[in-house]
Each structure stands twice: as C-alpha cells, then as structure tokens.
Amino acid sequence: MNELVSLVKEKMGKKPNPGFHWPYWLGYLGGAFFDVIAAVTGKKFPISRIRIKKFCSTTQFGTSIYKKTNFNPPVSLIEGLQRTIEFEFLKNKDQKDDVVYFTE
C-alpha cells in the first residue's frame, strides 16, 4: 500500500513519501465513530470500520491460473496505474484521447 500511495503522490506532483501512519486501533475507532453517525443520520460516509479493516488487511492473489492462460499483459502494472492516474486525474477532460483500449 505504501508503494501504491507513493506512486500516486509522485504522479500527482507531490512528495512520494506515504506520509503519517495512523495506529490501526485509532483508525478502527474513527470508523466506528462514523458508523454511529451514519446510523443516527442515515447518511453514508466513506469511512467505516469495515473499510478500515479492508484497507489494513493483507491481500494476495494467486498466479497459477494466470500462468496457464499464457496471457501477456500489454503494459506493466506500474505503467497501467500511471496511465489510469493520468487519464482520470491529470488529463484535460475536454481533450480527446487517440488511444483506444480493447478488452475481451
């Protein structure tokens, strides 16, 4: 997650350091606070206990099926992330893009 945050910040022209790290218990407590506020007001908030838990958990993906398909990605993961950040956040929305992406 630190690498991802650093990549995004660097691409956005900010210092690539991940910044301050909140203790898990404090983040979880904050999520619980927003859960209570959401229950009282009926509004949804982008912070909740489950989102804190998901954000802090370890996610791993197996590559056994990927290797059997002989799929060759057209770009690296890093390049794909950089293109996504540029397209979604940095590029002028009025400009047309000459690149077309095809999926299966």
The pLDDT tens digits for 24-40 are 999 999 999 999 999 99
Q: Does 95 reside within a domain?
A: no
Residue 50 located in a structural domain: yes
Does residue 45 register a pLDDT over 90?
yes
Query: What one-character DSSP code corresponds to residue 6?
Result: H
Q: What separation in angstroms does the CA of 24 have from each of 3, 47, 55? A: 19, 13, 10
Contact 32, 11 (CB under 8 A): no
Task: Decide if 71 is inside a domain.
Answer: yes
Question: Are the beta carbons of 18 and 3 closer than 8 angstroms?
Answer: no
Total of domains in the chain: 1
User: What is the token pair recorded at 34?
Assistant: 């927003």
- 67 within some domain: yes
pTM surpassing 0.95? no
Nearest to 24 by CA among 64, 61, 52, 1: 52
Report residue 81 as tokens: 């992330």
Residue 52: inside a domain, yes or no?
A: yes
Query: Would you say residue 104 lies in a domain?
Result: no
In a domain, 103, yes or no: no
Range of the structural domain that residue 18 is part of: 2-90
